[in-house]
Amino acid sequence: MSKTLEKIIGFLLLLATILPVSWQSIIETLKD
């Protein structure tokens, strides 16, 4: 796997995990 592809996948994985849970925390806070 090339270095660039590794970086793209890594970036997407970080984006796909941290961002959704962060937004969910807003929704959960507003629910309360």
Partner 1 sequence: MQKVKRYDPVIETKSKFMMRGILLYILPLPILIALIFALLNGNFKAIIVNGISYALFLLGASVARRGFRIEKEYKESILTYAPKIKFKTLSSIIISIATFFTSFFAAGNDLFLSILLALISFIGFYLYYGLDPKIDKIGELNLGVNAEDVIDITGHAKKRIQNIKNLKSEISDLRIKKLLDDITDETSLIIKSVQENPNDLSRARKFFNVYLHRTEKITIEYVNSLKKDNIDTTINENYIGLLKSVEATIHKQKQRLNEDDITRLDVQIEALTKQIKNEGV
Interface ranges with partner 1 (CB under 8 A):
6-7, 9-30, 32
DSSP string, the chain: --HHHHHHHHHHHHHHHHHHHHHHHHHHHHH-
Minimum separation from the CB atom of position 30 to partner 1 (A):
6
Minimum separation from the CB atom of position 18 to partner 1 (A):
4
Amino acid at 2: S
| Tokens (6 digits) for 18 | 């941290």
Minimum separation from the CB atom of position 27 to partner 1 (A):
8
